[in-house]
Amino acid sequence: MALVLLSGQEIPKEEKEKKEKIYEEEKKDIHGEADGKHKLKKRSRSPDNSPADGRNQKKIREEAETTLPLNISNYRLLKQLGEGNFGKVMLASYVIKDQLVAVKIIEKKRENIFKFVTREASVLQLADRCPFLCRGMATFQTQSLMLLVLEYISGGTLDDLIKSRGRLTSDQILFYSSELAVGLKFLHANGIVHRDLKPENILVDEDGHLKIADFGLVCTNMFGSKTRRGICGTPGYIPPEVLSNKKYNSGADWWSFGVTLYEMATGTLPFPRTGTEQEQVERIIGGEPEYPEFLSTELRDLLQQLLKKKAVQRLGVYSDICDHPFYSTIDWVEAERRGLLPPVIPTTSVKGLSEENIPFPEEDPSVTHMVSDFNYVDPSWQG
């Protein structure tokens, strides 16, 4: 079978070393995905975007100066939490309220990021409608930076939990996968495909509930029969149809959900990398995972239904995952209300804070990009 990875090129060594991420900006939108809400305004380099007029630039800057959550001087950086798809994520104090928040900092000088960042911002604005998505508090920009202010989720990640325990118990898997399924179904109902679902991007809050995070690779307007083409995500979690450069839809997320579920149950990936990355890709496309004997009949069947090679045969696509026997004891109304009892309450102490102020990246006067309709503040967080 012919494989297409990064337009047919072998993945460079330096790309493997940087979290072994695969990024490929889609060469075109399939079936007319609309990104019209956010219009990038640049002085040069992109003929598709007209330069920002002086009045609009002045309005954006005045808004940042007069609206407290949109003013970069009201945030004090404390430590680095991690690195998202396109920028560092920092723990910060919003000094007006003495409140801890997470701030994702993206430098505008990076190429081909604006479509992804504005998509991420739009999903964060939607997240307050679902308790299992990381919520955006504000988005704003300076001359050379784009900043996403997120709720600070203090309990670590699902990846941390799996690594600390080796593998999770059946009750833990049932709880976490139920909440994850509710969050994923909400995204899909709103035409959003995550495309990078994995334990590292699933946070645990102080009460022990899950939050899906890092929407930097989402695609939007994925309703009905609309599909996409283009390889992106994290090796080991990318589904066969994406690796084969075929058209895909929300079924891709259900594969990644299955991989995450398998990892919860076994402590390892269904297709671990034992050789080269290309060999791993070939096993994902043509091989079958091993299912340990300690898995229950219901859990084994659930995994097999999620890890179908053909997306149309995959659970979550051809039928509702909530109806699978593994979830027979779950009250889905309670699950949607965040009413299930968490099996683990995480430790939430904050350590490693810098005693000195960590500076934001310096403004680059050569950067003239301004993004209209980007500034946003959650109405409940004003002041």
Q: Which residues are annotated as a binding site for ATP?
A: 104
Contacts 24+ apart (CB under 8 A), 187-191: 187/123, 187/133, 187/212, 187/218, 187/253, 188/222, 188/250, 188/253, 190/126, 191/220, 191/221, 191/222, 191/223, 191/226
Buried b (16+ CB within 10 A) or exposed e, 13-51: eeeeeeeebbbbeeeebbeebebeebbbbbeeeeeebee
The residues carrying an active-site annotation are 196
Rounded to an integer, what distance in angstroms lies between the CA atom of residue 224 and that of residue 315? 17
Annotated binding site: 104
Q: Rounded to an integer, what distance in angstroms lies between the CA atom of residue 108 and that of residue 342? A: 40
State CA 187 to chain mean position distance.
11
Residues of the chain by 3-state class (helix, strand, coil), percent to 5: 35, 15, 50
Q: Residue 225: exposed, middle, or buried by beta-carbon count in 10 A (0-12, 13-18, 19+)? A: exposed
CB 282 within 8 A of CB 273: no
Give 7's DSSP letter: T
Report d(CA 346, CA 120) in Å as an integer: 27
Alpha carbon 334 to its chain's center? 25
